[in-house]
Amino acid sequence: MSTWTEFYNQIRDPSWPDCDQESDFEHLPNVIRLECQNQFGYVPGSFQKKSKLVNKRFPINTATACQLKWTWSTVYLTTEKTASCHRTDHHRFNKDTFDFHNTPEKIRDRERMLAGQWPERGCDYCQDIEVAGGQSDRITNLDFPGIHAPPELSTDSTATLVTPRMLEVYFDNTCNLKCLYCGPHFSSLWDAENKRHGTFHRGDLLIPSNFVKSSNIDSNKQRLFEWLKTNSHHLTVFNILGGEPLYQPELDQCLDLFETYPAPELKLQIFTNLNARLDRVQAMVQRVKHLIDTDCLREFEITASLDCWGASQEYVRYPLDLTVWGRNFEYLVGETWINLIINSTITPLTVKTLPYLLTKINIWSQQRKIYHYQNSVNDPSYMFIDIFGNIFQKDFDRAIDLKPTTTPEEIASRNYLAGIAQQSAHCNPNVVEIQKLYDFLNEMDRRRGTNWPGTFPWLVDEFDKHNLKD
């Protein structure tokens, strides 16, 4: 929710009195105040820093229109590419104009969506989920709280040359993990491992060994900073990703920039694996708190990446230490002014212990509201949730039952997980992709000294069904 009024009107019982200002919360009857806090996770004073923009439903109502295509831009400085969704293809933008939001490709996609057509390429993920009857990213974001449409759409609902509201930047690939579903574009450890071991090729599986960053990465970073100095007042959200932001100097450089060029309407969000020293996390958090207290930023959100729990998670997000992650996260739970989210990537290797993570989230949420979202991978194809067919239904049922449904955000998140479950059950086993996964895990064990059969004993039986065994 963007404002106190919207939040209160969303949750209020018809018998409750009006309360148009957050400052009047303390004058409500005690039973109502307790319900707002205990049932709906409200923290007194938390809307003081919310955006003054009132949430309005995305005004384009065609069968394929996606708010992200108009509102959102992602910039990858290592490859000089952009996209308006994590699911779609990346393409180059003009480095001279630095207009990463209104590229010919994005404008063409917007035009097709205005006509009720899917883009010619790149939106297959949502299209497939919707065909299967699930809730796609496109549907979820049509009326998602906190997302604001470009100002041009207020006067012209057919505008295709628009101002971004949400910007996220992948500054570099410096990272201290090498997650199985990641790769050298986003992980320097993956890059180093590939260079050390060389190209791996077996059957249809290919793991290439070379990743070349743009030679213009430093100058492009400076262009991005200049863009922020001039345009950050149009943004409502700025996301910093990596690699791993806690290991990258660009995070601190962004904080320097906002200290000098305040953006009092901006929500800053970082996506982190939280596998860092506690004092680094604490220092960063306290610096951001100072920027908010001095009106240099509006709000802070941390999305901590974690897919499941236990040995399976430490294998998938190698070399994650869950003890370190848990210590850092529990510190953040105590910093109640931070919006705190856990995001999980759903793969065949994580879905079985996702319920254990959701149980822990529900325990943490007894202290303060912790939101949970999930996604499934774009690539590699052997990490798609549906390659084994409908074998995870019980696991998904357990996870869905553990998802809370108190707020609109929680309902949307639960529906999204249900959509992934439908996607998982929609196909028959894909033997080609199962073979790739088998070969990939054996190669990872060879490189890293890990042991997938010991971590995933159920997977031994699944591979055996397709005559895959040592």
Q: State pLDDT tens for residues 428-439.
A: 999 999 999 999
**Rounded to an integer, what distance in angstroms lies between the CA atom of residue 301 and that of residue 268?**
6
- Which one-letter amino acid corresponds to residue 431? V
Task: Tell me the two tokens of residue 48.
Answer: 């003081």
Tell me which of 7 and 334 has the higher pLDDT: 334
CB atoms within 10 A of CB 130: 17
Burial class (CB in 10 A: 0-12, 13-18, 19+), 155: exposed
Burial of residue 244 (number of CB atoms within 10 Å: 0-12, 13-18, 19+): buried
The model's pLDDT over 101-116, given as tens digits with 9 standing for 90+, comes to 999 999 999 999 999 9
The DSSP H or E segment spanning 356 is helix 354-364
Q: Tell me what pLDDT residue 2 has.
A: 59
The pTM score is: 0.85
The two three-digit tokens of residue 69, written as one number: 């295509």
Helix (H, G, I), strand (E, B) or coil at 61: coil
pLDDT attached to residue 250: 96
pLDDT band at 134, cuts 50/70/90? confident
The alpha carbon of 270 is separated from its chain's Cα centroid by a whole number of angstroms, namely 10
Over the stretch 174-191, which tens digit does the pLDDT of each residue have?
999 999 999 999 999 999
| 385 pLDDT above the threshold of 90 | yes
Answer yes or no: is pLDDT of 51 > 80. no
pLDDT at 56 over 80: no
Residue 1 pLDDT: 47
Token output for 137: 């990213």
Residue 238 pairs in a beta bridge with: 167, 268
Give the three-state DSSP class for 161: coil
Mean pLDDT of the chain: 92
Total Cβ atoms within 10 A of residue 212:
9
Question: Measured between alpha carbons, how far is 318 from 447 in angstroms, rounded to an integer?
Answer: 12
pLDDT confidence tier of residue 50, bands split at 50, 70 and 90: low
Task: Give the span between the Cα atoms of 348 and 179, in whole angstroms.
Answer: 14
Q: Are 416 and 374 within 8 A, CB to CB? A: yes
Burial of 165 by CB count in 10 Å (0-12 exposed, 13-18 middle, 19+ buried)? buried
CA distance 135 to 140: 7
Note the pLDDT of residue 53.
65
For residue 83, the model assigns a pLDDT of: 95
Q: For 74-97, write each residue's pLDDT tens digit.
A: 999 999 999 998 888 899 999 889
pLDDT computed for residue 52 by the predictor: 64
For residue 272, pLDDT over 80 is answered with: yes
| Stronger pLDDT, 411 or 279, i.e. the higher one | 279
